[in-house]
């Protein structure tokens, strides 16, 4: 394996065949002897170098401190459904519970309403233009996400829009909250 760059890690053979002299190593670079030794041709292994399966590419003979720890190759992955994930029989009621991502849409809606704190504080202080900082698009996107519940991709899209609006209006609220805080402190100091 060439270690020339980061792509080599991802493009390496996931099931490399070890040389007979390497045995089972836990860590560390290959020995200089194993680097000089070429790969044997298929079928050229002697009987003592064959693995449990007795073929080229089988597991190497167990040697060293972890001898016998792993003698069989891992079982191949099969795409069988889990026992509890089987399809329900026809006529059975659908599973109960909320559809996926309802919680995310509701959380985005709650945060969208919480971003109205700064505009409401400004309006109560008589600064009517603080209504411009109200997160109306975020609330509208969150309500739209809740109305599109069966369609997962649409719900995900509107949840992303809602969070984008929430973060933008939170940043805008910080900009507008600083003058309100200064004005409130001056009113407290003056006693007005």
- Give Cα 22 to chain centroid, integer Å: 37
Long-range CB pairs of 111-120, under 8 A, 24+ apart, other chains included: 111/138, 111/163, 111/166, 112/138, 112/139, 112/141, 112/142, 112/162, 112/165, 112/166, 112/169, 113/139, 115/166, 115/169, 115/170, 115/173, 117/173, 118/173, 118/176, 118/177, 118/180, 119/173, 119/176
Percent pLDDT > 70 in the chain is 50
**C-alpha to C-alpha distance for 138 and 129, rounded to whole angstroms:** 19
Residue 115, classified by CB atoms within 10 Å of its CB into exposed (0-12), middle (13-18) or buried (19+), is: buried
Helix-strand-coil percent breakdown of the chain, rounded to 5? 50, 0, 50
142, two tokens = 């969150």
pLDDT tens-digit series, residues 125-162: 888 888 888 999 999 999 999 999 888 889 999 999 99
What are the sequence ranges of the domains in the chain? 12-62, 102-190
Contact 112, 132 (CB under 8 A): no
| Range 29-44 average pLDDT | 57
**C-alpha to C-alpha distance for 99 and 151, rounded to whole angstroms:** 10
Long-range CB pairs of 44-51, under 8 A, 24+ apart, other chains included: 45/20, 49/20
Q: Which of 181, 173, 179, 186 is nearest to 119 (CA)?
A: 173
pLDDT tens-digit series, residues 55-103: 555 555 555 555 555 556 666 655 555 555 556 678 877 666 666 688 9
Res 26: pLDDT: 47
In degrees rounded to 5, what are phi and psi of residue 81? -70, 155
**C-alpha to C-alpha distance for 98 and 102, rounded to whole angstroms:** 7
Handedness of CA 48, 49, 52, 53 (dihedral sign): negative
């Amino acid at each position: 394996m060439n270690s020339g760059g980061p792509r080599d890690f991802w493009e390496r053979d996931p099931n490399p065949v070890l040389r007979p002299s390497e045995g089972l190593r836990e860590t560390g670079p290959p020995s200089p002897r194993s680097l000089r030794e070429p790969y044997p041709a298929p079928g050229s292994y002697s009987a003592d170098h064959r693995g449990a399966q007795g073929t080229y590419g089988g597991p190497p003979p167990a040697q060293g401190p972890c001898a016998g720890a792993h003698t069989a190759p891992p079982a191949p992955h099969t795409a069988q459904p889990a026992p509890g994930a089987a399809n329900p029989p026809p006529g059975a009621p659908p599973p109960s519970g909320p559809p996926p991502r309802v919680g995310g849409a509701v959380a985005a809606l709650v945060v969208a309403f919480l971003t109205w704190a700064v505009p409401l504080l400004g309006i109560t202080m008589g600064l009517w233009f603080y209504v411009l900082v109200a997160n109306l698009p975020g609330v509208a996107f969150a309500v739209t996400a809740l109305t599109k519940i069966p369609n997962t991709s649409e719900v995900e899209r509107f949840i992303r829009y809602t969070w984008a609006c929430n973060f933008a209006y939170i940043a805008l609220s910080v900009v507008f909250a600083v003058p309100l805080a200064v004005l409130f402190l001056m009113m407290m100091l003056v006693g007005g």
